[in-house]
C-alpha cells in the first residue's frame, strides 16, 4: 500500500490512519471510561505504523486532543496530526455548527495548545456554517495559514459544488465525508478528489449494514479470506482509490490491532468487484 502526499509536501506514509473520536466518554462527551486504555491505544497505533491521527476540538470537547498531546508528545517524525474546527458542544450527541471567524481562530489556538503544536499539519472545517458568509469562514482559515498556525486546509461534508467554489478562494488538500461500503452517496466527491489529487478521509468507514449479515457478500468474503468483516471493509476502501485515507476509530487496543492488519489484506479482483457491485 503506497502512501499519499497532500498539498505537495505533507506525506502520509501509511494510508490507514486512526480516528480519535472514540477516545472520549459516551456520546463523544467527557473523559473516556478507561483513560489508561485510551492512552494505550494511541501508543499502540504508533507502534503499528499509523502515521495519520485525526481528531477534533469538539471530541469531548477538547478531551481527544488533550489525550493525544499528553500521550504522544514529542511526536515522532512523519506523524501527521489532523484536527477539525467548526462545532460547539452542549452535551452528549449534541453538536452545533459555529463558523464565526472569531470562533475558528479561538478554536485553532486551543487546538495548538492541547496538541502541543506550533503548527497544525491539516486543519479541517468540520462543517460549513450556512449562517455565516462562506468567505468569512475561509478568510479566517487563510489568515491562520498565513500566520503559520496551520499548514494545510481540509473540508468535511462538502459537495463537489462546494469544493469547486471554495477552491477558488483557498487551497484545499483533503475532504472528509461520510463514506463506506454501505453508504457511497459521496461517490462523486471521491471521484472528484481522485481527479484533483485531493486526499479523501472517509468517516464511519466500517459501517457495512446488510452486506455484513451472515451469508451476505462481506461475510462471505471475510470467511474466504480468513479475515473479519471490518478488515475486508477497510481493505476494500484502500483499494477503491489511491487518495483514500480511512480513519477507523476505537477505544480498544485489540480492535485497533485488528483494524491496522487490514492494511496488509489483499482483496482478489472478484471479491473487490462483488463488493463494489453490492
Q: What is the pLDDT of residues 190-208, one digit of tens each?
A: 999 999 999 999 999 987 7
Among candidate residues 59, 73, 75, 123, the one labeled active-site is 59
Confidence grade of residue 184 (pLDDT, cut at 50, 70, 90): very high
Quote the pLDDT of residue 1. 66
Q: State yes or no: is 59 an active-site residue.
A: yes
Tell me the three cell numbers of residue 185. 452517496
- CATH hierarchy code of domain 4-208+242-250: 3.20.20.100
**pTM for this structure?**
0.97
Confidence at 2, pLDDT banded by 50, 70, 90: confident
Between CA 98 and CA 102 the distance in angstroms is 10
Residue 208 backbone phi and psi in degrees, to 5: -135, -10
Return the pLDDT at 212.
80
Average pLDDT over residues 6-10: 98
Instruction: Report residue 235 as a C-alpha cell.
Output: 481493505
Which pLDDT does position 260 carry in this prediction?
97
pLDDT band for position 114 (50/70/90)?
Answer: very high
DSSP for 16-81, written as a single string: --EE-TTSSSTTTBSS-S-HHHHHHHHHHHHHTT--EEE--TTTBTTHHHHHHHHHHPSPPTTPEE
Q: pLDDT tens-digit profile of 38-94?
A: 999 999 999 999 999 999 999 999 999 999 999 999 999 999 999 999 999 999 999
Amino acid at each position: 500500500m503506497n502512501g499519499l502526499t497532500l498539498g505537495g509536501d505533507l506525506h502520509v506514509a501509511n494510508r490507514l490512519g486512526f480516528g480519535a473520536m472514540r477516545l472520549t466518554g459516551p456520546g463523544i462527551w467527557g473523559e473516556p471510561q478507561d483513560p489508561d486504555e485510551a492512552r494505550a491505544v494511541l501508543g499502540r497505533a504508533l507502534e503499528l505504523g499509523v502515521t495519520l491521527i485525526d481528531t477534533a476540538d469538539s471530541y469531548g470537547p477538547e478531551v481527544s486532543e488533550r489525550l493525544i498531546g499528553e500521550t504522544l508528545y514529542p511526536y515522532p517524525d512523519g506523524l501527521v496530526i489532523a484536527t477539525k474546527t467548526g462545532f460547539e458542544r452542549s452535551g452528549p450527541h449534541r453538536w452545533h455548527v459555529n463558523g464565526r471567524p472569531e470562533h475558528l481562530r479561538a478554536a485553532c489556538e486551543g487546538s495548538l495548545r492541547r496538541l502541543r503544536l506550533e503548527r497544525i499539519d491539516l486543519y479541517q472545517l468540520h462543517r460549513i456554517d450556512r449562517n455565516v458568509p462562506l468567505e468569512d469562514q475561509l478568510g479566517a482559515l487563510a489568515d491562520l495559514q498565513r500566520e503559520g498556525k496551520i499548514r494545510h486546509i481540509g473540508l468535511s461534508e462538502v459537495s463537489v459544488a462546494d469544493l469547486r467554489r471554495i477552491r477558488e478562494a483557498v487551497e484545499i488538500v483533503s475532504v472528509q465525508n461520510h463514506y463506506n461500503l454501505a453508504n457511497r452517496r459521496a461517490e462523486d466527491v471521491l471521484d472528484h478528489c481522485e481527479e484533483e489529487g485531493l486526499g479523501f478521509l472517509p468517516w464511519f468507514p466500517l459501517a457495512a449494514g446488510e452486506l455484513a449479515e451472515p451469508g451476505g457478500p462481506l461475510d462471505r468474503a471475510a470467511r474466504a479470506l480468513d479475515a473479519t468483516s471490518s478488515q475486508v471493509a477497510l481493505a476494500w476502501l484502500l483499494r477503491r482509490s489511491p487518495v483514500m485515507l480511512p480513519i477507523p476509530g476505537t477505544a480498544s487496543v485489540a480492535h485497533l490491532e485488528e483494524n491496522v492488519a487490514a492494511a496488509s489484506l489483499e482483496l482478489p479482483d472478484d471479491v473487490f468487484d462483488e463488493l463494489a457491485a453490492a
